[in-house]
Amino acid sequence: MRARVTVTLKQGVLDPQGKAIEGALKGLGFGGVNAARQGKVIDLDLAESDPERARAEVAAMCEALLANTVIESYAIELE
């Protein structure tokens, strides 16, 4: 099965890249953007077919490598 991991900076952690995106959007005239935060998406193709086990396995991957939990949080979607 496939898993999509979304890694974002935790709330309260300054995101200079998000700020730059926010500024650029404002510069283009998109005045309705209150804030922009940048993250990353990691798509995994897994051998596991049981959703529960797959979720546990991907969570372990996030803790071990995919996210730095000092500054980042992660969300897992399975499909």
12: left (phi over 0), alpha (psi -120 to 50) or beta: left
Residue selected from 33, 56, 68, 77 as contacting another protein according to rule CB under 8 A: 68
Interacting span for another protein (CB under 8 A) from 12-20, 29-37, 44-52, 53-61: 12-20
Site map 22..61 versus another protein, x via CB under 8 A: ----------------------------------------
Contact 15, 38 (CB under 8 A): yes
